[in-house]
Amino acid sequence: MTPGGPLTRVLLVAHGSDGDVLPFVRLGGVLRERGHDVTLLTHAPYRSRVEAAGLDFVPIDTHDAYARYSADTALLPDGLDTLDWLSFYRRNRLFEQFAGECRALAARVTPGRTVLAGRHTSALSVLAVRELTGAPAAWIAVAPIQPLAAEVARHLHQHVLAPGIDAARGDLGLPRVRDWRAWFSSADLRLGLWPRWFDEAGPATGPATRLTGFPLPDDGSEDPVPAEAAALLDGTVRPVLITGGTGRMLRPGFHEAALAGCRRAGLPALLVAPHAETVPQPLPPHARRFARLPFREVVPQVAAVLHHGGIGTLTRALAAGTPQVILAHGADRPDNAARLERQGLARWLPEGSWDAGEVAGALHAALRDGPHQPRTGPRDAADGLAMAATHLERLLHAPSRPGDPLPEEEPGGGGGGRGEAARQARPGDPLPESRGEAGQGDAARRLAALSAERRRLVAARLRRRPAEQEAS
């Protein structure tokens, strides 16, 4: 018997790059080990990793479509700002993808024996299928900015993307969304895959998000370290690992600044970049590029990790105790970087400081700080994933009372059980953060956590809102 009783089936939905998808693969593996039937809907290139974990795989796109989607993310407002969100959805057929996910999920639901869980904010399909089937649903956030920016995302969907979403809902036999706040908070459970200390190092996500601890990313590679990389690691001066993650949402100039900083600091560089077109050519003599490296083996051996602030990369470095320097821009990255710096676990530079001298200075400072004790939370990563799995099991078999924490919960997690979320989901019932002065303070903290670009985007959209439109 599993901790929450036999579920029979867990249906997971994940979007994004490695830092978003791989935690769901590992979570699915934990659930499978407990005897559950697990299916993961995600991007086509992740098939081999999903199937290697023993999970059923349902592709939400093709390899070519994912490549286009990934390339277009670099053009969004958090990147080059040359592509608006509605055009992004239309170009990548994301409204059709939403409808396809809903059909695939609904066809696999066994009434009374299925739980739905998806990536916070993007997995709208689990909310729609919750309506269709009555199966309980969870939203799982991989970084604090996702719940903190939920109101921004809700506004974008309500005022920009709603016609396409409502058309897809109509094809599924669902009415158009009338209360977007209620629908956006209709998940029965919200999980945060990070520990309490990380939550408290910046704007807190609040009691509705249950914290589980970091899920240490598994790079899924059993390949040995390439000989050329091994030679650098065995050299008299340990190299700096430079990585901008596996996606394409990377600010232009990142690689140039990182390489120039290493050169100024007199340090060799291992550059990991899967997309060759994002890397300056020719590479300087102190650097070697690899499309991928087995981070599990490499990160503990480098002098420092110089990266973009992605949650998977920083978690891997924390687990190894390796010094970090973060060149953060867009999405969750500045918030992640600021949280680590407040804890003395990283140095970070905003885009305006991406020059060789500043980067070299941050590297020298991080090396002076030295390695730290491995830190992924009060429990190890396996226990964090086990806790997340237990929450999903109990969502179906033993839903908690509002504000009643589970015994295994990461300290600092809060309520957010099924009863609370269901109460929030009633049309016209405001979210806790919208009630009174405390709600205004929470909203201010959420806005403060956003990048300057995203704040400007929100302000512009609010100014453009037609005067006759009802207050959101």
**Amino acid of residue 96:** E
Give residue-wise pLDDT tens across range 177-218. 999 999 999 999 999 999 999 999 999 999 999 999 888 766
Give the pair of three-digit tokens for residue 167: 């058309």
Rg for the chain, CA atoms, rounded: 22
Same domain, 106 and 207: yes
Number of domains in the chain: 2
CATH of the domain at 349: 3.40.50.2000
Query: Which 3 state secondary structure label does DSSP give 438?
Result: helix
Same domain, 115 and 163: yes
Number of neighbouring beta carbons within 10 Å of residue 349: 20
Share of the chain above pLDDT 90, in %: 46
| Separation of alpha carbons 114 and 36, rounded Å | 10
- pLDDT the model gives residue 116: 97
Q: What's the Cα-to-Cα distance from 6 to each of 31, 286, 394, 418, 426, rounded to whole Å?
A: 10, 55, 10, 18, 29
φ, ψ (nearest 5 deg) of residue 453: -65, -40
Boundary (domain end) residue, out of 369, 394, 419: 369
Give the pair of three-digit tokens for residue 216: 């240490």
Residue 424 pLDDT > 60: no
Boundary (domain end) residue, out of 326, 347, 369: 369
What's this model's pTM, rounded to 2 decimal places? 0.78
Residue 470 is assigned to a structural domain of this protein: no
Give the pair of three-digit tokens for residue 419: 């009863």
Q: Is the distance from CB of 241 to CB of 298 less than 8 angstroms? A: yes
Q: What's the Cα-to-Cα distance from 165 to each of 106, 176, 309, 427, 441, rounded to whole Å?
A: 17, 8, 31, 18, 31
Same domain, 293 and 421: no
Give the pair of three-digit tokens for residue 80: 């080059």
Domain span at residue 384 reads 9-216+380-464
Same domain, 146 and 43: yes
Could you tell me which residues come within 8 angstroms of residue 460 by beta carbon, excluding any fewer than 6 positions away? none
7-16, 154-163, 364-373: segment of lowest average pLDDT: 364-373
Same domain, 32 and 54: yes
- pLDDT the model gives residue 275: 78
Same domain, 339 and 401: no
Residue 59 pLDDT > 60: yes
Boundary (domain end) residue, out of 369, 392, 415: 369
